[in-house]
Chains A and B, each alone.
Chain A
Amino acid sequence: MSAIATVDCDVLVVGAGPAGLAAAGAAARAGAGVVVLDDNAGPGGQIWRGAGAGVAAPDARAAAPWLDALEHPRVQPLAGARLFAQPAPGLALAETPAGPLAVRHVRAVLCPGARELFLPFPGWTLPGVAGAGGLSALVKSGTPVAGQRVVVAGSGPLLFAVARELKRHGARVLLIAEQAPRGRVARFAAGLWRWPAKLADALAHRAALAGVPYRTGSWPVEALGGEALAAVRVSDGRRVREIPCDRLACGFGLVPNAEPARLFGCAIAAGGAVATGARQETSVPGVFAAGEAAGIAGLEAALAEGAIAGLAAAGAGEIPAGPRRARERARAFGAAIARAFALRDDLRALARPETVVCRCEDVTRGALADQPGWRAAKLHTRCGMGPCQGRVCGPAAEFLFGWGAESVRPPAFPVRLESLAAAGEVPPGGTEGP
């Protein structure tokens, strides 16, 4: 039996997005030794993806002071390292390019962020159809879109950030289709003065997107094409328009990545986010959660929650009022987004009986229609049993059929066999004080 590479730390931080960076910095400055795991090749998470590598530019300046956390002498960043199991308290297993790695820790801060909500509609599996944040992430990593015609669709303020990113890389953004009705979006915009940073963002987006039509009360009903996308059909409830395009970037909001917290045994709140308290503590002693995994509220909330969690995990007594206030303000913004961009019922009717819902196993809506729930669907149709382990079709099925999610079993992510073998032969875990 080969011994597994092992590192020890006071605080394990999972995720090097804004929340994880803030947590790592705060914990290290408070005296803790920190290991930061992230499954991407570089730090930054979603919004600051590539900021360190020079691929993405405009956000790099905002990201720089936070990325500095990784330079702290007490912080050890590990890129390309994906947490996949927690065989015992105080012991986490990650898959890295160099093989499996055991991280013994006293406390953990989970900051794995969020993913997009994808809803099935005819043609959504065609190459050329990607997520909204998804295409933005791909472009930030170098995927070429210059000169291409792109329709951006779905819901939420993220669509603006995405359209802007695409335009900056030379794409022709033909339309931004927002499913939320005009009245709700207008009320949301009118209330933005309460978050000056968000108002400034919104104005900057508007200026950068001058000439790009933004249509509320509009949603994609079908993507057309043979082996690749050729056009998208967009409805406003009365009329359907067909728009020839090279790409469709479509996402219907964000879903917390709760899997790492489930691995640690943490309670999940209604709505799917990790349940946290005033110090960002979860239901498991010594385990904290921050950022969008703990509730969808954007960048400022992720930074404030990360700082609080980092301090708490390092054993700080009192949490300063600054980050606590910032967290409250940012969470109010998250709540305003949830209200304004709630999804319309029409979206439940997009998938036809022959439309694939589970992309890994090609399970259609028709095959799922008779199933009483998620567990039965998995058993009888293999829905959610493929490599993504239900992380795409699970939230979609929840929206379509009202099925609840369920607990994960390790590995929560696809791993190589050698990593799985490692789970059985790891050294005993660290200790956890109450």
Chain B
Amino acid sequence: MSARVTLSVDGRAVAVAAGASVAAAIEAAGVAVFRHSVTGTARAPLCGMGICQECRVTIDGEPHRLACQTACAEGMRVETAAAGGSRGVGR
């Protein structure tokens, strides 16, 4: 129940409850902007369920992963717009 996993978001370590999504870890790390749109505006999760694609970040080096549908794993490396993850890439 209270098991925790530790991962890094933009280089900063965060601990979240086991079972939490990457989207949750990003916000727990205090990051509000997940990515930038094709015209450069700030974006964050909208649908929470794998539809809108606004939560895309880079996970363990792989870009465009859905933060809302990916469960956190021990040692995972997550990069948001701030670290250049999925920056300005619309498709």
Question: Is A281's beta carbon under 8 Å from chain B?
Answer: no
User: Which of A22-30, A37-45, A189-197, A204-212 lies at the binding interface?
Assistant: A37-45
Question: Is B7's beta carbon under 8 Å from chain A?
Answer: no
With A127-B44, A138-B68 as contacts: A360 and B53 at CB distance below 8 Å = yes
A138 touches B33 (CB 8 A): no
A228 touches B42 (CB 8 A): yes
Chain A neighbourhood of B75, CB < 8 A? none
With A41-B70, A127-B44, A228-B42 as contacts: A46 and B19 at CB distance below 8 Å = no
B48 touches A40 (CB 8 A): no
B-contact 0/1 string along A258-281, CB 8 Å cutoff: 000000000000000000000000
Chain B neighbourhood of A359, CB < 8 A? 37, 43, 46, 52, 54
With A41-B69, A55-B17, A359-B54 as contacts: A141 and B46 at CB distance below 8 Å = no
A141 touches B68 (CB 8 A): yes
Bound form: Cα–Cα A52–B88 in Å: 36
With A138-B23, A142-B20, A228-B32 as contacts: A125 and B41 at CB distance below 8 Å = yes
Question: Is B27's beta carbon under 8 Å from chain A?
Answer: yes
B49 touches A127 (CB 8 A): no
Minimum CB–CB distance from A360 to chain B (whole Å) comes to 6
Chain B neighbourhood of A392, CB < 8 A? 46-47, 51-52
Query: Restricting to B1-55, which residues have a CB under 8 Å from any CB of A?
Result: 1, 16-21, 23-25, 27-28, 32-34, 37-39, 41-54
Query: Restricting to B46-79, which residues have a CB under 8 Å from any CB of A?
Result: 46-54, 56, 64, 68-71
Bound form: Cα–Cα A228–B41 in Å: 11
Chain A neighbourhood of B49, CB < 8 A? 40, 46, 115, 133-134, 137
Question: Is A286's beta carbon under 8 Å from chain B?
Answer: no
Secondary structure call for the A interface: loop
Nearest-neighbor residue (CB-CB) of B16 within chain A: A142
Question: Is B90's beta carbon under 8 Å from chain A?
Answer: yes
Chain B neighbourhood of A387, CB < 8 A? 53, 56, 64, 90-91
A39 touches B50 (CB 8 A): yes
Bound form: Cα–Cα A386–B53 in Å: 9
B21 touches A118 (CB 8 A): no
Chain B neighbourhood of A137, CB < 8 A? 47-49, 68
Indicate the size class of the contact surface on chain A.
Answer: 35 or more
Nearest-neighbor residue (CB-CB) of A259 within chain B: B51
Bound form: Cα–Cα A82–B19 in Å: 19
A142 touches B17 (CB 8 A): yes
With A141-B24, A142-B19 as contacts: A134 and B47 at CB distance below 8 Å = yes
Minimum CB–CB distance from A131 to chain B (whole Å) comes to 5
Chain A neighbourhood of B53, CB < 8 A? 360, 386-388, 414
Chain A neighbourhood of B48, CB < 8 A? 130-131, 133-138, 141
B90 touches A361 (CB 8 A): yes
Minimum CB–CB distance from A418 to chain B (whole Å) comes to 12
Nearest-neighbor residue (CB-CB) of B3 within chain A: A54
Pick the contact of A141: B21, B32, B41, B43 (CB < 8 A).
B21
Nearest-neighbor residue (CB-CB) of B20 within chain A: A142
Chain B neighbourhood of A361, CB < 8 A? 38, 90
18 A-B pairs with C-beta separation under 8 A: A40-B49, A54-B1, A54-B19, A115-B47, A127-B34, A128-B44, A133-B48, A134-B48, A137-B48, A141-B24, A141-B48, A142-B25, A143-B23, A143-B24, A228-B44, A359-B43, A359-B54, A387-B91
Query: Which residues of B are in contact with A by a Cβ distance under 8 Å?
Result: 1, 16-21, 23-25, 27-28, 32-34, 37-39, 41-54, 56, 64, 68-71, 90-91
